Amino acid sequence: MSPRPPDRRVGPHVTERAAVVPEQELRQALHRRLALMTLACGLPVIAVLWGVELRKETPSPELLGFYPTLSLLCLWAVYWVSRGRPVDLLLRVIFTLNLVFILEQSYFGSAAVQNSSAQGNLNLYLMLIANTIISYLIFNIRPAGILTLGAFIASFGLTVLSFALNGALRQLLFTLQLQVSTGAILLLVHALAWYKDRFTTQSHEQRVLEYEASTDPLTGLPNRRSLYRQIEGLLRDEERGDCGSVILFDIDHFKRVNDLYGHPTGDGALLHIAGLLTDFARPEDTPGRWGGEEFMLVLPHTPAEAAAALAEQLRATLSAAPYDPVGQITASFGVAACLPGDTLTRLTTRADSALYRAKQEGRNRVVLADPDRMPDHTFLTA
């Protein structure tokens, strides 16, 4: 069985996969908050409208039955959300009930038309705008736009029909003014939703590109470019007197693994090592793939002796964890600590030189770079 790709660490106590909450979980959290806000705002509004309808001389029987029913459904929705149940279906129910209420109010709310009844439609259009915003949060752009347009046309048509049946066509002028204003706002909401969707898509694509540019595609670990940034952080810490170190190690006789077992098994061995390295690393450390069969562990706040001790523990961990069908896999380690005036090239060259010495001295061992010793060979960082 191939081991899972390791989580990529990006900071203290955080891995990249842990830091980026899955999109589905973010969506559920957003919808849960949206449902609670909708219910918190909707229940008082329903209560007020119910009271206003009761005080009318000729209250609408349809609305008198609709308000208590809607209140009970809202209370059930509060219970549903508070119990941690899935909110996708609930939000669609809320949206549908709001839409039914808007259409109901469009017709029956204007049935008993008075001289100022058109003014009362202002609340109706405000609810239409609010429900439109909810639709764009729940649905994709296209279905939300279709629902918005359909609700707007249906509401306007029912309101005009109600005025016409009650002989109040004079008041259509004010209603048309509200319709034009509401339509402009709904168009603005659609434009903002479209912009948000495009911005979110582009932002996601940018994050994917950045992730791919700094991540090893096989192991999921930070690649050399990403490790460069972590090492630069060590050098900045060293300028403030905070010593850090790097551990560079190379799998022993890895070419033999590929030759004997094939490259797929070799890739599995690399994944195996990457998983062990990730599990071994402390929360503040950054494990990465330096290239080929070479890996690195960047250790902030860790002087040379402590880094060498950690490297020895890691060497023993790798040696004690065989990978089937290869068996035991060992590695050679070079450890280098930051020195005053270090550059990225000087630090990594010392670590590579120590690794080279570990291989010369028999492999499967840890060598701590001598700060006074010149590198045995040239190391290229490009």
- The structure tokens listed for 380 are 């290229």
DSSP, collapsed to helix, strand or coil, labels residue 11 as strand
Would you call 205 a catalytic residue per the annotation? no
Residue 293, CA distances (Å) to 252, 256, 281 in order: 9, 12, 18
Whether the CB-CB separation of 161 and 109 falls below 8 Å is answered with no
DSSP, collapsed to helix, strand or coil, labels residue 261 as helix
Residue recorded with tokens 């899935």: 86
Nearest to 222 by CA among 211, 210, 231, 214: 214
- Computed on alpha carbons and rounded to an integer, the radius of gyration of the chain in Å comes to 33
333, containing H or E segment: strand 331-337
Whether the CB-CB separation of 128 and 98 falls below 8 Å is answered with no
- The structure tokens listed for 202 are 């582009």
Compute the distance between CA of residue 165 and CA of residue 162 in angstroms, rounded to an integer: 5
Compute the distance between CA of residue 151 and CA of residue 160 in angstroms, rounded to an integer: 14
Whether the CB-CB separation of 58 and 20 falls below 8 Å is answered with no
Whether the CB-CB separation of 295 and 273 falls below 8 Å is answered with yes
Cβ atoms within 10 Å, residue 277: 25
DSSP, collapsed to helix, strand or coil, labels residue 38 as helix
DSSP, collapsed to helix, strand or coil, labels residue 298 as strand
Of 212, 293, 294, 361, which is the active-site residue?
A: 293
Compute the distance between CA of residue 68 and CA of residue 327 in angstroms, rounded to an integer: 71
| Relative orientation angle of helices 23-55 and 61-82, to the nearest 10 degrees | 150
For residue 327, the 8-state DSSP code is B
- The structure tokens listed for 285 are 């450390």
Backbone angles phi, psi at 225, to 5 degrees: -60, -45
Nearest to 276 by CA among 4, 1, 11: 4
Residues carrying an active site annotation = 293
